[in-house]
Structure 1
């Protein structure tokens, strides 16, 4: 098939399955993570219990875990959220298609404060879109769809909807991950997503109206993409814009800040991850 048709097929499969390499459809029932989620006091709330509220884990880093009712009948879906002040932390993208690793292995090697999985990738672990790691660009940008989480060398962090603001190679990026779809467009507008209602584990990044970066993970197969988009826009997280990262077996979240230890591992190896590190300058 042509290169264009091949990429369209790859993207369609990735979106439908909510995961990268070796993807298979996930069941619609709630599926727990394979590793324990540990959140010592004051954030020791177990999945499905009451909202912990925002808890300061360190300067510039807040955490919150809560349960969302009504997504799956008779069950509350757990959500784990991290809120970051971009002026006080640094984003770091790691990309190693030749040596993909489970999220916990990435964490053990680099010791970040926070870590999540990156965007979609092919069966041979190549990113399906642009990735910028420490100023070095890999892959080609999505055109007309999807979004990009990006950071400049001076520490500015943003999410842009590529449909409305296409990637400009003249803009120097320090770190970036492109993924799809946009869940919430700038101004808090809920995206209309044709996702057939399939539920999967989910990872998303967002910017709130105060300019803070949010990392949001649901470690059970509770949300369809449309349901997640609708919940994000209607929640009290004050979301201005949000972007879906790879989900399903790729989803994961590690937090090691202050007294907080969250460990939600990916089910598959990952060629790319987003790490949050202390800002040193």
Structure 2
């Protein structure tokens, strides 16, 4: 796959092997030996699997030269015709991912953008049509929900218009995939970290992408996403590190965030 060419240094990995059961000693007859369970190899790419109507999931794994798993992308792809999107925001009163889900009853919860030590978003947030904070510039992107539906935008191509009627919005940076599918970030590589991304593909579907093992730099992730077969049109990096996390309630799946979050993206069935 094209994804592997970008990460030759990466690694399908870590197959778990169940330890053999100790040999029991019987009072009579020969010693019985219980064989070890056969290892179940991890596939590099699961392909798209239907999780529920209008929702697919996929796992793409990266291995090192010794075949050890070093990173994976966990991806959810939503059809906006069957799901609605909102933004949750509690400035100064953050919640854990689990509490966000419990409070909102959302089907899925993804962490949002960057925030201050006081748990206030550093970019624009819109909830129920009410805006707070200041918009970022051309270096950033925005997840927006209008009367038409959800969109992932690059503010360099489409700056925020304060007169636009937004139902929900959340800004973050940098833009990893620019409109049309080109890699959007090529700065000198910084530190690798856990990553969270919101994207939109060429068919208008919304993708949540998590890289939870902390092996991608932003430049590596930008190049990987642009070169993939995900058909991404635009993708925006969300807050990473301890903030990166996702909850899906049905079917259940969880990638934990290790800090409280003031802003999240919420998904509900229609």
Q: TM-score range by the shorter chain?
A: 0.7 to 0.9
State the match for 1:36 in structure 2: none
Count residues in correspondence: 233
Alpha-carbon distance in 2 for matches of 1:215, 1:248: 16
Alpha-carbon deviation of 1:98? Answer: 2.4
The aligned residue for residue 149 of structure 2 is: 156
Cα deviation code 1:226-250 (max 9, x no counterpart)? 1111110111111111100000000
How far residue 111 of structure 1 moved from its aligned partner, in angstroms, is: 2.2
- 1:71/1:132 CA distance change after superposition, 3 Å: farther
Q: Residue in 2 aligned with 1:237?
A: 230
SS class of match (1:51): coil
Distance change in 2, residues 1:241/1:73 (3 Å): farther
Matching residue of 1:214: 207
Give matches, 1:118-137, under 5 Å: 118-137=112-131
Alignment of 1:97-176 (within 5 A): 97-152=91-146, 154-176=147-169
Structure 2 length normalisation: TM-score? 0.81
The 5 Å alignment of 1:1-281 reads 49-69=43-63, 74-152=68-146, 154-194=147-187, 196-257=189-250, 260-279=251-270
Judging changes above 3 Å, is the alpha-carbon distance between structure 1 residues 72 and 134 closer, same or farther for their aligned structure 2 residues?
farther
Are the aligned partners of 2:195 and 2:238 in contact in 1 as well (CA < 8 Å)?
A: yes
For the structure 1 residues 278 and 230, does the alpha-carbon distance in structure 2 shift closer, same or farther, using more than 3 Å as the test?
same
CA RMSD of aligned residues (A): 2.3
Q: Aligned partners of 1:81, 1:140: CA distance in 2, in Å?
A: 30
Q: Give SS of 2:98's match.
A: helix
CA drift at 1:51: 2.0
State which structure, 1 or 2, has the greater radius of gyration over its C-alpha atoms: 2
Kindly tell me: are residues 73 and 248 of structure 1, through their superposed partners in 2, closer, same or farther at Cα, counting changes over 3 Å?
farther
Return the offset for 1:74.
4.8
Is the 2:177–2:185 Cα contact (8 Å) retained in structure 1?
A: no
**In structure 1, the residue corresponding to 2:51 is in which secondary structure?**
strand
Moved over 3 A (4+): 46-50, 69-76
What's the counterpart of residue 32 of structure 2? none
Distance 2:66 2:181 in 1: 24
Pair 264,150 (structure 1): closer, same or farther in 2 beyond 3 Å: same
The structure-2 alpha-carbon separation of the partners of 1:109 and 1:207, relative to structure 1 and needing over 3 Å to count, comes to same
1:72–1:173 distance in 2 versus 1, CA, 3 Å: farther
The Cα offsets for residues 160-181 of structure 1, whole Å up to 9 and x where unpaired, read as: 1111211011110011110000
Compute the TM-score of the two structures, normalised by the length of structure 1.
0.78
Deviation, 1:210, is: 1.1
Instruction: Tell me the distance in 1 between the aligned counterparts of 2:65 and 2:216.
Output: 7
